[in-house]
Structure 1
Amino acid sequence: MKLRLFEFYFIKDYLRPWFGLIYSLFFLFFLGAIGYRITEGWEWSDCLWMVLITITTIGFGEVQPLSPEGRIVTVLVIVGGLIFIQFTFQKAVRLFESGYFQRVNELRFKRLLRKMENHVILCGYGRVGQEISNQIKTQNIPIIVVESDEDRKKIAEENGLEVLCADATLDETLKLAGLEKCKSLVVTLPNDAANLYVVLSAKGIRSSIRVIARAGTEEAASKLRLAGASIVVSPYIAAGRAMASMALRPIAIDFLDLLAGSECEIEEFELSNDISLFETAEKRSLSELGIGKKSGAKILAIKENEKLFTNPGGNFILQPGQVLIAFGSKEQLNILNGLLGNLVVAVELLK
């Protein structure tokens, strides 16, 4: 309620510069209509219509033949309209020079941020950030870019992204970007210290937030993990591993590239830790649930604590806290989600 009242008064302040022009326009309409009413004796609707087509220079013609007095009223209305247009233009120029329209755009952007949820916050729009945003956009997931550099901000806006031009290390910036309602936070600032600061701030605001951070060195990666980053990626190490994999397992890399351009996805299904749900469940094994037959999705692996069970068989029993890694189309994965029912507490897209 307080937020809506704040928005009301905020919008009112932005409309206040136009009140004088709006009152002047109504005053011009009122005087012109009275003038036609006195000189021509028309109905009020005809008087107002004549003022409208005169001011806007639409040129539909006179409502009725005008008397000499009526033509004088028409001339006065035309002069008043020209003066009004001149004042409107001058007002717009002054407001533009004072940054008024930029503030209006910021208000629109802040209202948009408050409505967003399940989006990705991307801190930093360098080369790595640009590639990340391109990949996220292919999944039709809303994304907010936090960037303090004006040049990078313009590039992001040209690419059709919503950009919050602010310091990502500040708590108020992360809150404004919707940290409490976002899907995940990706930190790709060029400075390791700044990345660490963002992770600490984000975890302080929302401890359960999923944070993917960039690290330039192994030491920075270690500190980012200690700060609470869910995943730490070093572009140099990742590029080296990818190139080594291309040399050793080119077919597997080609498969991943094909997967990136297909309609198939890989998702994580996190199972509940509530033991009672599993005790009351009639079907707990993969074969009993009929995941492959009913959904068409493929369970690639099941993560339990720190162990990873790859290509599990039909007799594999689902347990609390496990994470199922499944492969399939969006429709197949939705069916799988329905088969698991209330056993699932969270679904995370990996590709």
Structure 2
Amino acid sequence: MKSWWYPFKRGPLASLPLRVLAKPWLGPILALAVVILVGALGYRLTEGWDWGDCLWMVLITISTIGYGEVEPLSQAGRLVTVLIIAGGVVVVQLTIQRALRLTESGYFRQLRELRFRRVLRRMRDHVIVCGYGRIGKEIASKLQLEQVPVLVVEIDPANKQTAEEQGLNVLQADATLDETLLEAGLDHCRSLVAALPSNAANLYVVLSAKSMQPHCRLISRADSEEAAVKLKLAGASVVVSPYVAAGRTMAATALRPLAVDFMDLLAGSDYEIEEFQLSQDPLKFNKLSHRSLAKLQLGRRSGAMVLAIRDGSSLMANPSSEVELAPGQLLVVLGSKAQLIRLRELLGEALDTIERMAS
């Protein structure tokens, strides 16, 4: 014979209808309602009180608050009180037994999972970090400091617990699977970071993500030059080697310590460096009133500073005021959040996408 908790043993609670979720609690709730109504009716018949006094007496008796009797009780009224107390004890025992059975069946664990799935469905413009190892921890920590929504995908229970202790949302699943990336919100995320310890696993993640969302920004780690090349071919937007990046930072610190200190200072300030990708569509671009930086006066009107302009493979640092903007160019801009927002408004439809640069 199937018991009332049988559905929770068959599959994930998230796929069950609300009536099934509420079914285990119907017994205790109905029993409590019967005790309250029958007790109120008993007081009504034995004491002749109005329904408000009857219900109040039942509630303070069951809850053991003990404010005192509404009016002195008759012998029949005291008998009703004893029966109410006995009924309340039965209801409490029934509720405790039901809770213990639900705990054993995994009901509460799956209920927490259901709430987490709802949180996932509401996440928008977040960063998915696949892997919470040494690199994943650092990435998630920096994103948290910038108040960027983060979702960690981690299969290891110990790493999952560590991430949750840091206040992160964690999806415990295999990041190389398509269904995991879809559940993580790949179709409405800001970007995805593949920080798994294996080059092969990162390659799987990039291939899966690229096939499902071709326009998603994909960042991956690589332990070798060969792996970096393969990840680029697979569709990674940016490939970072921790060893190469660490070596470059150490060399830059030795040669240009002030520049490195400036970037560290920038990371802790209100100022950011963003990439403004101009549209390839000439019709949208022609809506700009002027083309040259001098006539547009982007710096004066927004307060932001254009550090460089990339046109194809060429990069122009510290562009002069005579430089004219053209479709498809990439502007590297420094400014506060308010200044960058103002610059977006000035560029209008000529702006295609915006990407935040790591500082």
Same structural fold, with TM-score higher than 0.5 when normalized by the shorter chain: yes
* Aligned residue in 1 for 2:123: 116
Partner of 1:3: none
Q: Is the 8 A contact 1:212 1:233 kept in 2?
A: yes
Residue 145 of structure 2 corresponds to which residue in structure 1?
138
The letter of the residue matching 1:60 is Y
What per-residue deviation string (whole Å, max 9, x for no partner) do you get for residues 99-118 of structure 1? 11110011111111111110
Equivalenced residues, count: 346
CA contact (8 A) 1:278 1:284 kept: no
* Aligned-CA RMSD value: 1.5
Match of 1:277 among 280, 284, 298: 284
Paired AA for residue 17 in structure 2: F
Which of these residues, 307, 317, 325, is aligned with residue 310 of structure 1? Answer: 317
What does residue 30 of structure 1 align with?
37
Moved more, 177-186 or 246-255: 246-255
**In 1, Cα distance between the equivalents of 2:293 and 2:133?**
44
Q: Which of 197, 203, 208 is matched with 1:201 structurally?
A: 208
Aligned equivalents of 1:48, 1:113: Cα separation in 2:
43
Which segment is superposed worse, 74-83 or 57-66?
57-66
SS at match of 2:301: helix
Structure 1 residue 247 displacement after superposition: 1.0
Q: Which residues of structure 1 form unaligned runs of 5+?
A: 1-5
Give the equivalent residue in structure 1 for 2:167: 160
Counterpart pick for 1:79 among 78, 86, 109: 86
Distance 2:287 2:190 in 1: 31
Aligned to 1:90: 97
Deviations 1:301-330 (A, max 9, x none): 112222211111222212112121110111
Distance 1:272 1:202 in 2: 25
How far the C-alpha of 1:280 sits from its partner, in A, is 3.6
Rounded to whole Å, the distance in 1 between the matches of 2:272 and 2:209 is 28
Contact persistence 1:265–1:330 (CA under 8 A):
yes
Map residues 196-345 of structure 1 onto 2, 5 A cutoff.
196-345=203-352
1:106 maps to which of 90, 113, 116:
113
Which residue of the other structure, out of 54, 60, 63, is the alignment partner of 2:61?
Answer: 54
- AA aligned to 1:252 is A
Residue identity opposite 2:39 in structure 1: G
Residue identity in the other structure for 1:312: P
Amino acid in structure 2 at the alignment position of 1:147: E
Q: Could you list the per-position Cα deviations for residues 218-262 of structure 1 after superposition, in whole angstroms to 9, with x for gaps in the alignment?
A: 111111111000001111111111111111111111111111111
Whole-Å Cα distance in 2 between the matches of residues 139 and 10 of structure 1? 38
Contact 2:287 2:350 in 1 (8 A): no
Task: Structure 2 unaligned segments of length 5 or more: list them.
Answer: 1-12
% identical equivalent positions: 55
Alignment match, 1:187: 194
Residue 76 to residue 8, structure 1, CA distance change in 2 (3 Å): farther
Partners of 1:263 and 1:330 within 8 A in 2: yes
Counterpart-to-counterpart distance in 1, 2:52 and 2:68: 15
Compute the displacement of 1:14 (Å): 2.0
Q: Residue 74 of structure 2 is aligned with which of 67, 79, 98?
A: 67
Q: CA deviation at 1:66?
A: 1.6
